[in-house]
Amino acid sequence: MTFTEEEQAIIDLLKQNKSYSYIAQERHTSRRNISRTKKRYEEEQTKNKEQNSVVNKESVENQEQNKVQLSKPSQVLKLFCEGKKTVEVAIELDMQIAEVDRVYKEYSESNGLYDLNQVYEDIKKNGSISSFVKLYQIIKQERMGMLQVANLLKICEEIPYLEAKYQRIKDVIEKDGPKVLDLIKQKLSLRNDIQSILGELPSFRSYVDNELKHEQEKLDKQKASLTNEVNKWKECAINEINNSKECLLALRDAADKLKSIRKEVDKLKQEEQRLTSRIELLKNEERQEQYVQRPQSQPQQTAKQGRPIRLEQEQKKDNAVETEQELPNDAIWQQFKSHW
């Protein structure tokens, strides 16, 4: 049975547990229409349940028929696939345990569990399955891996060696017991000595501190005296430097004066050379006049004789001027010599 779009919307709201008034207001329909749609939906659901129950019954009957039709080994394998144990399979199919075990071995080999079966057989022959299961439970509880289990087995193999080693150590201790006691006594005596030394340490430390303080005071005094000496030498050096500066200034002034004197001397020498050349010229002129001109009257001779006299007088005057100009320079030189 199919429902219209309006009926399907009403059914959806009913599934949401909405009230009739809400559905009527939401879908703009009457309460009668809502109740009729609900009734049809419930009838449809009832029919579907009945059909499903019939189908399930038929499927169960078919499965039972298939069980009857399957052989015993096939039924055993099917039950093993469903996770049943060997005892449960034997009870359900009314079979012997040995036959069920044989089928289980075939089932295990087909699923790649041959090694597990071999281990199971070995444990069954040589030991107890419960012990193996208990060991597995312990490993699982301790969350141990394969590497840890292997290391544990190696340690178990070394236990006899460790026990023998422990016994040897025990024998050595029993044999060397007196020596050990002597060593313990020596240890105690050394500990007492160390404690006594530690007790004397504070007094020794105070003594060392006093000595260091005394030495520090000496060093401070020496430092102060050296500082005073250095300051004195520094003052002396500063005074010497100042004196040397004054001497240098005096030397500089003297050098300047010497330069000026040299300039004056050079000027005087030039003047002397000029006068000397002039005198030579005058002498040459006089000689030329004597040899060229004829002898004249007496007044002319007296005039000629008077010219050399006049020249000699002029030369004396020039020499006097030179000596007057040189005197100040000599006085300056004498002052310079007396200063040094």
220 vs 78, residue with greater confidence:
220
| pLDDT, average across residues 14-33 | 82
Is the Cβ–Cβ distance between 268 and 326 less than 8 Å?
yes
Sign of CA dihedral 239, 241, 246, 247: positive
DSSP state of 36: H
Query: How far, CA to CA in Å, does 151 sit from each of 105, 132, 164, 261?
Result: 33, 18, 20, 117
| Phi, psi dihedrals of residue 191, rounded to the nearest 5° | -65, -40
Give the whole-angstrom CA distance, residue 37 versus residue 1. Answer: 12
Percentage of residues in the chain having pLDDT higher than 90:
1
Q: Which helix (H) or strand (E) holds 286?
A: helix 177-292
Give the whole-angstrom CA distance, residue 140 versus residue 47. Answer: 53
| pLDDT, average across residues 109-115 | 63
pLDDT of residue 39: 84
Give the whole-angstrom CA distance, residue 277 versus residue 290. Answer: 20
Reduced to 3 states (helix: H, G, I; strand: E, B; else coil), residue 84 is coil
Q: What is the mean pLDDT of the chain?
A: 76
What's the angle, vertex CA 142, arms to CA 136 and CA 145, rounded to 5?
70
22 vs 296, residue with greater confidence:
22
Q: Which helix (H) or strand (E) holds 330?
A: helix 298-339
Structure-block tokens of residue 18: 């909405």
Over residues 61-105, the pLDDT tens digits come to 666 555 445 577 777 777 777 777 777 877 877 777 778 777 777
Over residues 250-298, the pLDDT tens digits come to 888 888 888 888 888 888 989 888 888 888 888 888 888 877 765 544 4
Q: Is the pLDDT of residue 340 over 60?
A: no
pLDDT of residue 327: 44
Sign of CA dihedral 252, 255, 261, 267: negative
| pLDDT, average across residues 24-41 | 82
> For the whole model, what pTM was predicted?
0.23
Q: Is the pLDDT of residue 307 over 60?
A: no
